[in-house]
């Protein structure tokens, strides 16, 4: 895996700064953070390491915050950030719908009791199985991503029925934390460009299909976007297209889905996207742009993934080795790119801390690396840890809830870590550790 690591000095982190930790974090008996009243070393002792801890209260509070910032809008949790049955259950109870992009996600959501009409199905390359599953379960919306998909989808829709669809368009807005997660510009694989006419072309195909009902436009302009402006610009471009669709086809689209991409802080001092401000500015722009084009204001939808679940998660690792080479100190733990590829893929930087033992040693910058046999297997660089960090210590990495477990790989046959929910002083297993037996069971040939 190719990696570019830019080592820049960061201010030494105060051990008291728990600002990026889950909502229920408090200081426990030894000055250690507890989450929902649970001590992290107890979780490690009971479930082993590496282990992912998820604060149920934090997830629920985020869902409620979105609902109150966007009254009258649909808030759809983006399943690709992290999905398990409990997660489906929580977001459903808090009044959110779900955005999925595979038959697998969809089936898990339906099994967990989410009404299919609350589900939006995405994907730039939906397989025939995906389309069949989406139609069989009766998902609320399918988001069409290309012109060729239109006929393919229509062919799967049973005669005499209609499937509601949205068109994913590319508003031509550059935003997002890293080139690999920017999706709002014309050179990306997802969506139909407004600028080159493919969005209008696809819309024309869609409105001609008697088995499809176009309900609105969708866009997703990127990820880890920390300012409101790109969303406001996207709204303007989308309403412009809605007006042209009205002029050309005489139809008024009742819905507008702005996707997700709302930034979170991974380290103290970083700025998350201001969600209430986003809601205010988007509402205002939508009202103004629609008034100018003489369009009724469409029903809004947003699809936050990371911003709902990232901060609820804490990854716990055991230190296996400490190596001092010249000026550098490498602290190697029992996980790595197999459970968190994000530092290697996108250069995401984290603020791990020592837990379970009070150290009075001075801190110095170290590089926390994983256990995999790849040079790029780093979890965090230039992070201050006590100078006496040693094998057997526990490291906790906050803001680990999104795009860790959902991007895991089977690298080095280590098995995927378990997920443990904490709530009201209790820890309970949501997803068990992948065992050697699990891994062997798929290996059926010789």
216 labelled ligand-binding:
no
CB of 307 to ligand PLP, least distance (A): 6
Strands 353-355 and 394-398: antiparallel
Using CB under 6 A, list all residues that contact ligand PLP.
Answer: 78, 80-81, 99, 122, 220, 223, 259-262, 303-307
Tokens of 257: 């889905």
The least distance separating ligand PLP from the CB of residue 380, rounded to whole angstroms, comes to: 21
346 annotated as ligand-binding: yes
Q: How far is the CB of 241 from ligand PLP (least distance, A)?
A: 17
Q: Which is nearer to ligand PLP, 91 or 427 (CB)?
A: 91
Q: Which is nearer to ligand PLP, 140 or 259 (CB)?
A: 259
Measure the CA–CA gap between 339 and 345, rounded to whole angstroms. 12
- 37 secondary structure, DSSP code: T
Set 84, 101, 219, 373: catalytic member: 373
Please say if 373 is a catalytic residue: yes
What tokens were used for 18? Answer: 């728990």
Residue 285, marked binder: no
- Our CB check for ligand PLP shows the closer of 99 and 226 to be 99
Asked if residue 305 belongs to a known ligand binding site, the reply is yes
Could you give the CA distance from residue 131 to residue 151 in angstroms, rounded to a whole number? Answer: 12
- Residue 440 CB neighbour total at 10 angstroms: 10
Helix (H, G, I), strand (E, B), or coil: what is residue 155? helix
Nearer to ligand PLP, 259 or 313 (CB): 259
The Cα–Cα gap between 275 and 308 comes to 11
If phi > 0 it is left, if psi is from -120 to 50 it is alpha, else beta; for residue 352 that is beta
> What tokens does 65 get?
């915050």
DSSP, collapsed to helix, strand or coil, labels residue 383 as strand
Q: Which is nearer to ligand PLP, 80 or 404 (CB)?
A: 80
Q: What tokens were used for 276?
A: 């209430």
Least Å distance, CB 35 to ligand PLP, is: 22
Under a CB-based contact definition with an 8 Å cutoff, are residues 308 and 62 in contact?
yes
Q: Which helix (H) or strand (E) holds 128?
A: helix 128-137
CB of 176 to ligand PLP, least distance (A): 8
Task: Give the list of residues 6+ apart from residue 26 with CB closer than 8 angstroms, or none.
Answer: 33, 34, 37
Residues whose CB falls within 8 Å of the CB of residue 249, separated by 6 or more in sequence, listed in order: 203, 204, 207
Q: Which is nearer to ligand PLP, 258 or 351 (CB)?
A: 258
Q: Minimum distance between the CB of residue 402 and ligand PLP, rounded to whole angstroms?
A: 6
- Alpha-carbon span 316 to 47, nearest angstrom: 11
403 is in an annotated binding site: yes
Catalogue the active-site residues: 373
Annotation: binding site: 261, 303-306, 342, 346, 374, 403
Annotation: binding site for pyridoxal 5'-phosphate: 261, 303-306, 403
Annotation: binding site for substrate: 306, 342, 346, 374, 403
């Amino acid at each position: 895996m190719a990696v570019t690591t830019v080592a820049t000095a960061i201010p030494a982190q105060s051990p008291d700064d728990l600002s990026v930790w889950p909502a229920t974090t408090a200081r426990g008996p030894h000055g250690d953070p507890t989450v929902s009243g649970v001590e992290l070393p107890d979780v490690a002792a009971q479930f082993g390491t590496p282990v992912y801890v998820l604060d149920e209260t934090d997830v629920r509070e985020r869902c409620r915050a979105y609902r109150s910032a966007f009254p009258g809008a649909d808030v759809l949790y983006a399943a690709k950030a992290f999905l398990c049955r409990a997660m489906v259950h929580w977001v459903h109870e808090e009044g959110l719908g779900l955005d999925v992009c595979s038959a697998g996600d969809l089936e898990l959501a339906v099994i967990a009791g989410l009404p299919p009409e609350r589900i939006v199905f995405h994907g730039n390359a939906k397989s025939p199985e995906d389309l069949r599953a989406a139609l069989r379960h009766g998902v609320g919306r399918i988001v069409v991503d290309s012109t060729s998909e239109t006929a393919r989808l229509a062919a799967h829709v049973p005669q005499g029925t209609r499937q509601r669809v949205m068109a994913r368009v590319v508003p031509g807005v550059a935003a997002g934390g890293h080139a690999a997660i920017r999706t709002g510009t014309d050179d990306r694989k997802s969506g139909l460009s407004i600028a080159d006419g493919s969005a209008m072309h696809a819309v024309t195909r869609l409105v001609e299909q008697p088995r499809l009902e176009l309900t609105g436009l969708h866009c997703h302009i990127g990820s880890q976007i920390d300012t409101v402006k790109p969303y406001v610009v996207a709204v303007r471009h989308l309403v412009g297209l809605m007006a042209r669709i009205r002029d050309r086809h005489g139809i008024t689209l009742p819905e507008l889905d702005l996707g997700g991409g709302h930034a979170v802080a991974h380290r103290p001092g970083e700025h998350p996207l201001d969600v209430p401000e986003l809601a205010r500015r988007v509402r205002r722009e939508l009202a103004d742009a629609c008034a100018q084009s003489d369009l009724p204001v469409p029903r809004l939808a947003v699809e936050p993934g990371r911003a709902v679940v990232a901060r609820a998660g804490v990854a716990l690792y055991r230190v296996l080795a400490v190596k001092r080479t010249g000026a550098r100190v490498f602290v190697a733990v029992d996980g790595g790119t197999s459970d968190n590829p994000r530092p290697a893929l996108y250069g995401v930087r984290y603020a791990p801390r020592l837990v379970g033992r009070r150290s009075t040693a001075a801190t110095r910058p170290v590089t926390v690396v994983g256990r995999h046999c790849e040079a790029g297997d780093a979890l965090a660089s230039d992070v201050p840890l006590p100078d006496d960090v040693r094998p057997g210590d526990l490291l906790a990495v906050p803001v680990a809830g999104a795009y860790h477990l959902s991007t895991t790989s089977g690298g080095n046959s280590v098995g995927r870590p378990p997920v443990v929910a904490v709530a009201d002083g209790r820890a309970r297993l949501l997803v068990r550790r992948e065992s050697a037996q699990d891994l062997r069971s798929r290996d059926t040939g010789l």
